[in-house]
Amino acid sequence: MWRVPRQLCVRVARGGKLSGPRHRPAAFMSTLLINQAQYAWLKELGLREENEGVYNGSWGGRGEVITTYCPANNEPIARVRQASVADYEETVKKAREAWKVWAEVPAPKRGEVVRQIGDALREKIQILGNLVSLEMGKILVEGVGEVQEYVDVCDYAVGLSRMIGGPILPSERPGHALIEQWNPVGLVGIITAFNFPVAVYGWNNAIAMICGNVCLWKGAPTTSLISVAVTKIIAKVLEDNKLPGAICSLTCGGADIGTAMAKDERVNLLSFTGSTQVGRQVALMVQERFGRSLLELGGNNAIIAFEDADLSLVVPSVLFAAVGTAGQRCTTARRLFLHESIHDEVVNRLKKAYAQIRVGNPWDSDVLYGPLHTKQAVSMFLGAVEDAKKEGGTVVYGGKVMDRPGNYVEPTVVTGLAHNASIAHTETFAPILYVFKFKNEEEVFAWNNEVKQGLSSSIFTKDLGRIFRWLGPKGSDCGIVNVNIPTSGAEIGGAFGGEKHTGGGRESGSDAWKQYMRRSTCTINYSKDLPLAQGIKFQ
């Protein structure tokens, strides 16, 4: 039997509330990793045996104490004291007060502070990447890359701080001008998931800050140490600039904190990253108070390889998209559609490539594949493999739990399913790839779009006409539409997000900054007359 661990992030419980993490009994406790010599580097991030999980200008926390665990060996790392409801109330009040200061800082000056945050992250990039590997479980190069992504967004936001704004529009009335004015929304709540515990916060935080907002962060309970470590870095920058620490607040927690943020009218925008199931509940709670939400939810992403595809690109792209982060990215490739003329060859090449994947401790530099985040994820993996078999699928590679400490499973390839098999339409956060044959473009484009989510998609072809049909209105219905590259690994310069059950939110680049601001159309009369629009006479 698999022991059910702490939840991956907030989840739905009875009564519509967001429930929090489960906890291991004391019998499971052993010496904390932070107290072992080989993990002494954790203290360089300001971490200790028990950490305060609330920051609003000062550190504290009066909630429950939780322990976070290393997915590679299921050993306890350190403890975090979470926020109580009283802590949350105090933090929101301080954040709202801090906004009065921050909103008055000119945008380019706000950009300068964000630049300093990026520089501070650069200085800690390797050690923070190590923590991501240790607590989340992704391989070191991905852990470091995630911190780099936050740094990149900071760099991007610095330039954006001198560019955000609206146009001056021509008026139909003489002596009048129309101005589009953009202002910060105020307090941005940010709830992030376990799988990108640094980058997703960075996407939101850096852009929200230069727009003039203050941020309140609740990370996943299972990656609380990462939330604390990142916040300590930011807090130092704010302190050095003599700014209120509550500009970037932190409330580690579970059910009560997540629900409070969703229902709180003082949270002007709530950015939520997580499952579609929980995202739906969040959206309903926010909409009930006519608040604004930014949702980044699930993805059931597909790669399509046509008969003219360059297989030297297809195989490594599929390998990275399906196996990277042990299948725990929202952009992970979960469906692979192969033209019937190349199906068998690609499957054989994939099996050989899968057999060469280097498995090990995620913080070892030569490893390409680490553990799933929790034992619950392992259980879900096994359930999905069994369901695939019941629906007629054949496991041609993997399908089992690895015989080693930690939450390791074999990366898995399944063939023989119908394109509309229920398991293939279910997002399982695990490295399972379902492979299908197709005959023509029309049917495979339809198969790509038939799932409820609409995050990422990619085709491999040399046909220029097909490429532009794929990008057009009858092509992919996803928010990310790629050609000859994997479904995962998006750059920060473009807006990131998806359609349908993925939530519709956009973060990071392009004009995603508009999500964090409110727009006013301002009409200015600089004449001595009072003409009315549409030529109306009211005399």
Pair 42, 34: CB distance under 8 Å: yes
- 183 to 26, 424, 491, 505: CA distances (angstroms): 50, 43, 27, 19
CA distance linking residue 227 with residue 208, whole number of Å: 17
Kindly provide the b/e burial profile for residues 228-251, where b requires at least 16 CB atoms within 10 angstroms of the residue's own CB.
bbbbbbbbebbeeeebbbbbbbbb
CA distance linking residue 125 with residue 523, whole number of Å: 47
In which residue are the tokens 């994820």 written? 377
CA distance linking residue 236 with residue 113, whole number of Å: 11
φ, ψ of residue 468 to 5 degrees: the values are -75, -25
What are the percentages of helix, strand and coil residues in the chain, rounded to 5? 40, 20, 40
CA distance linking residue 118 with residue 230, whole number of Å: 11
**Which strands, in side-by-side order, build the sheet including 59-60?**
59-60, 54-55, 248-251, 214-218, 187-191, 269-273, 292-296
- 12 to 18, 168, 276, 384, 466: CA distances (angstroms): 5, 46, 11, 21, 42
In which residue are the tokens 């997703």 written? 200
Give ∠ CA 22-404-145 in degrees, rounded to 5: 70
Task: Count Cβ atoms within 10 A of the Cβ of residue 89 and give its class: 0-12 exposed, 13-18 middle, 19 or more buried.
Answer: middle
CA distance linking residue 335 with residue 459, whole number of Å: 12
Per annotation, catalytic residue among 52, 146, 296, 507: 296
CA distance linking residue 303 with residue 161, whole number of Å: 36
Say what angle helices 199-210 and 140-160 make with each other, to 10 degrees: 10
**Which strands, in side-by-side order, build the sheet including 301-305?**
394-397, 412-415, 432-438, 333-339, 301-305, 456-460, 480-483
- Tell me whether residue 296 is one of the annotated catalytic residues: yes
Helix (H, G, I), strand (E, B) or coil at 344: helix
- 539 to 515, 529, 531: CA distances (angstroms): 42, 14, 11
CA distance linking residue 403 with residue 407, whole number of Å: 10
Catalytic center residues? 296
